[in-house]
Amino acid sequence: MSTRRARPQHEHRAPVAVAVLVNLALSLFLPSEVLFFPSWVVPAIGLSLLIPLVVFNPRRLTRETTWSRWLSFALAILLTVANQLTVVRTVDQLLHGHPDGGAVLLTALQVWVSSIIAFGLVYWELDRGGPVARRRPDLFARDEADFQFPQETDPATAAWRPVYLDYLYVALTNMMAFSPTDTMPMTVRAKMIMAYQSIGGFILLALVISRAVNIIS
Average pLDDT, the chain: 85
Tell me what the mean pLDDT of segment 56-85 comes to: 93
Give the CA radius of gyration of the chain: 19
User: What is residue 2's predicted lDDT score, i.e. its pLDDT?
Assistant: 42
User: What is residue 217's predicted lDDT score, i.e. its pLDDT?
Assistant: 59
The more confident residue out of 34 and 166 is 166
CA–CA distance, 7 with 14 (Å, rounded to integer) = 16
pLDDT digits (tens, 9 = 90+) for 2-13: 444 444 478 999
CA–CA distance, 192 with 77 (Å, rounded to integer) = 16
DSSP secondary structure code for residue 39 in this structure? T
The tally of CA atoms less than 13 A away on the side-chain side of residue 43 is 14
Assess contact for 180 and 154: CB atoms under 8 A.
no
CA–CA distance, 119 with 194 (Å, rounded to integer) = 8
pLDDT digits (tens, 9 = 90+) for 199-213: 988 888 888 777 766
The residue count of the chain comes to: 217
CA–CA distance, 37 with 82 (Å, rounded to integer) = 9
pLDDT digits (tens, 9 = 90+) for 138-180: 655 567 889 989 888 877 777 788 999 999 999 999 998 878 7
User: What is residue 213's predicted lDDT score, i.e. its pLDDT?
Assistant: 66
The tally of CA atoms less than 13 A away on the side-chain side of residue 125 is 20
Of 56, 59, 52, nearest to 75 (Cα)?
52
Does the pLDDT value for residue 125 go beyond 80? yes
CA–CA distance, 73 with 160 (Å, rounded to integer) = 24
pTM over 0.85? The answer is: yes
